[in-house]
Structure 1
């Protein structure tokens, strides 16, 4: 989709007036090395709440599970968190490890973050305990053994298999054993717009319970839209939400998705470059909306950084650019496809464009062999000349991406048979977004049947609790309660084998 519904923005307008992130002093004792150290910081705050983080270093014997406890003195209340299972009883706060980050060797470090409400004051907690041992104070010469906490019955350890490393073989995605794999699941919107609007990083919770709810639909893939200015930490982005904070949050979500056995697709959604022509989403030069094409100034750097971050994990799929629409700016279809592949100076677009070949080159220059998705023109709804203009990939791990909604031009079996089937015969085809704005699922049922009959991949838009009439929303609650529209995708996925 080109943008989240405006109702999402208006619902929170006036509620969150974000301030500058503040790092509070860390209180550590002098003397011998403590058994554990905890650095506590406030990374952003507003009138009624704040975002905080803890960095835990285990200086004692290795542990396989951990639990950090501390107390708030001013009535602060944790609302949600990430990279730990956060809970609170009265003033006492507990952050217990996730299934994927429980092992802490001697000298190992783990970080976690949270969002909480606050009153007029927001004092720093004064004491932290890791598995019952007081941190930030001198070690006792004869420490008692570190107790091993048990997992809470309400948050059992995840037992899902790790997602497979993927590669392209002919027109299929396959795992290391050569078995065919499909990407079937959902989009998790928020990372493309929250940060650039100064409202956070994610729209809604992305903690372990929230990700588990996605997996419960028999989802095996989650597509994660991103913003290049937030990832690169450009000067217009609040540092509490951009740069390292944003990258770490994305890495945490990717790890959590994988911990539940699902394939993460990291995708570039909003980019830099001023465009005010036909079908412009905004007049802003910054990455505050969908642009017709990625920009040469920042997008190759974005993909270089993303590829370096995930190149050692071939379970992560790279989706180069959400929905190219150079066809709305250029005079001819040929010009649009040339712009799509080659970039440069494109008719009707006032900034230097990064073509799909530029982005493939940026990824491969890092040594990354991850599968790459490249969507066609007309908001990824037109793959008519995709095979003619497809970029060259030295690794052979390039797949085609397609988006379809009931209001698109290519939204019927006749068009799919004539334009999609030839592409799917040569390369893997992934419908990165499917959806409809009718608050029902009659259209996506047709889409899923066509793709299922051919063993192809599809991802529903979107796992967010928006008003389905202004943007296709699969859920009404982050516990996985489906909307009438989302019921179609949930039931279809649950009916599939494994």
Structure 2
């Protein structure tokens, strides 16, 4: 396993770039006009379209009335048509363990290469910065917006994480990436995916990367104030960034599983409430491959508090207001109560009101279908034209933009995403597909090893980091974006007709009937919504290797990597299991047996055992992690693991003889698996 490269100082701009000399007076406007005309002429003659432009004026995105606008190009309609770039929410914290400070994480970005953190081996380049070629590939697709998932533990630099990939280095890398995107004319959507909580005033970092119902009442506003301050240039940067949109929380979900009374979800979404973790641990089933993971007990922040934090910091930095995305309930797939529950927040003039810069955020994923057309895995609930017309169209009718932050489908096809994007184009709704993460490393001539991302388990749009699209899903989305951007269908910079890479699994591109979008004239005003795969961001597990617990998809996992990048959503039978039903502490050690079913891939992952309910330990009352151990078992074999309990586990077992526990197993290529065990001494 390669090691990370030595700590590299990330420059504010992220890449070497010559800055133009300042110009003053009337000549500035004239020279700018001449430069724009020359660039436009070159691009037209080259047949590359706007996608080849680099070092353009970064967008200045804002909300005007019912639409998003780019103040640098006020006469051009602005519809966000883009992609998600997963990795920054989990790579920085994967494998984190509070008992091993400074060791969590293997990179900041997940790719273009996987470089896991291993201090015993020589350093190799790690993914602290992104190559400019990867952004040029996005522009060749016609992408004008990229959504960047974030982790607050990585942003603030939790002690369990490697400082090379967290804290100030993480912040600098994100800021540099925003600048880098801006130089290519791309808008950055910053989204809080992995949020930490507090208990009795003490921070409880979310190192397991679970997807919580909402941000914490204290940590959520603190995070967004810090992000706005960083984007404003309060820390050393190249200046105040205007090519950003703030997505306050990835996928809110507030229902009975979080002990939120029926019918109270929207009020909690707006104002905050107490969520309680009394939900049971449920084993995955084919019908529900990602059951709810117990939620910690904490007070949530309502979207009103998060909006207030952002606007207060903007005013303190003398910044104009940036657009703010508010995702609906049911993992951002339910917008039925969005308009009627918008918060009233301070307006900076001594009064309150509904902020005019709020934008509805929606996520939607299509079903996975079998060869006979039957549904193997259901998509999101609001997945037809009638629902889109009612909920999204209803919000548009009230004068608010809509952005689909995630959209995709799980079977490598393009019928669902095609139907949605056509509908969205006619309603001035924006969309960003999940996800721009390559299936394989390497080049078209030598594709290299699989990364764990696939077109159905990601779902991912690209086979290779050069922008080679996946069959059907990626290919059709690429064609659609280029057509909407008015780009040529021919020429060297067109990646859409790319041939399938050898050794990639074939994808069934046969379209499944989907209700056609209601024909609507193409809008002339910029759309206000961003497409996104519905509520699904599932990383591998809740344990130390870390992975959220419920929504946005992720890669299946690299067979050779010791740490699994969170986010695969496979539904095939699991290839690892614990055969023990109880664990016993003997001579300071716990032994348990792990079986790996036959197949091509060995089982590599981690087992985390925690108490089934909150227990009292001194002055603390909490769910305690009592065992945290990694495993690597050949396919078709079993192995007995022997490990010492955590410090909390040792103290707990000194106080009691027997405790009921829940184990969570994270294995490469599999979903998290939970089961109840007993631990005794």
Same fold (TM over 0.5): yes
TM-score relative to the length of structure 2:
0.50
Q: Tell me if the contact between 1:230 and 1:241 (Cα under 8 Å) persists in the aligned partners.
A: yes
Work out whether 1:352 is the aligned partner of 2:340: no
Match of 1:166 among 61, 64, 74: 61
| Residues 191, 227 of structure 1: 8 Å contact kept | yes
Partner SS state of residue 411, structure 1:
coil
Residue 423 of structure 2 is matched in structure 1 by 450
- Please name the residue that 2:246 is paired with: 318
Contact 1:161 1:260 (8 Å CA) reproduced:
yes
How far did residue 56 of structure 1 move? 8.7
Query: Residues 31-54 of structure 1: CA distance to partner in whole angstroms, max 9, x if unpaired?
Result: xxxxxxxxxxxxxxx3xx523425
The residue number in structure 2 matching 1:213 is 137
**Within 1, Cα distance between the matches of 2:76 and 2:261?**
41
Matched, 1:204 2:99: no
Gaps of 5+ in 2: 23-51, 95-104, 113-129, 233-239, 278-294, 348-354, 367-378, 439-452, 487-681
Q: Which residue of 1 aligns with 2:483?
A: 495
Once residues 228 and 336 of structure 1 are traced to their aligned partners in structure 2, the CA distance between those partners, rounded to angstroms, is 24
The structure-2 alpha-carbon separation of the partners of 1:308 and 1:413, relative to structure 1 and needing over 3 Å to count, comes to: same
Contact 1:475 / 1:481 at 8 angstroms: preserved in 2? yes
Q: CA deviation at 1:377?
A: 0.6
Q: Tell me the distance in 1 between the aligned counterparts of 2:384 and 2:205.
A: 35
CA deviation string 1:184-243 (max 9, x = no partner): 110111100000111110011321011111111011111111111111112222211111
Q: 1:396-432: CA deviations, max 9, x gaps? A: 2110100000110111111111221111222100000
Per the TM alignment, residue 158 of structure 1 is displaced from its structure 2 partner at its CA by 5.2
Distance in 2 (CA, whole Å) between partners of 1:172 and 1:428 is 5
Describe the shift of the 1:284–1:441 C-alpha distance in structure 2 as closer, same or farther (beyond 3 A). Answer: farther
CA distance, structure 2, for counterparts of residue 285 and residue 361 of structure 1: 24
Query: 1:192 maps to which residue?
Result: 89
Contact 1:165 1:314 in 2 (8 A): yes
Which of residues 60, 63, 79 is equivalent to 1:182? 79
Q: Offset at 1:386?
A: 0.3
Cα pair distance change 1:318/1:331, threshold 3 Å: closer
For residues 169 and 284 of structure 1, do their structure 2 counterparts lie closer, same or farther at Cα, with a shift above 3 Å needed?
A: closer
Superposed displacement of residue 492, structure 1: 0.3
- In 2, Cα distance between the equivalents of 1:433 and 1:343? 24
Q: Which residue of 2 aligns with 1:83?
A: 14
Question: CA contact under 8 A between 2:178 and 2:243: conserved in structure 1?
Answer: no
Give, in angstroms, the shift of residue 161 of structure 1.
3.0
Provide the C-alpha distance between the structure 1 equivalents of 2:269 and 2:224, rounded to a whole number of angstroms.
17
Unpaired stretches in structure 1, ≥5 consecutive residues: 1-14, 17-45, 58-81, 85-96, 106-156, 276-282
* Counterpart in the other structure of 1:437: 410
Residue 160 (structure 1) shift? 5.3
Q: Secondary structure at the match of 1:495?
A: helix
Show the 5 A alignment for 1:69-468.
83-84=14-15, 97-98=16-17, 102=19, 159=54, 161-176=56-71, 177=74, 179-197=76-94, 198-205=105-112, 206-273=130-197, 285-286=206-207, 288-311=209-232, 312-327=240-255, 328-346=257-275, 350-366=297-313, 367=315, 368=319, 369-392=321-344, 394=347, 395-406=355-366, 407-426=379-398, 427-465=400-438, 466-468=453-455
Task: Give RMSD over aligned pairs.
Answer: 2.6
**Conserved 8 A contact 2:194-2:206:** no
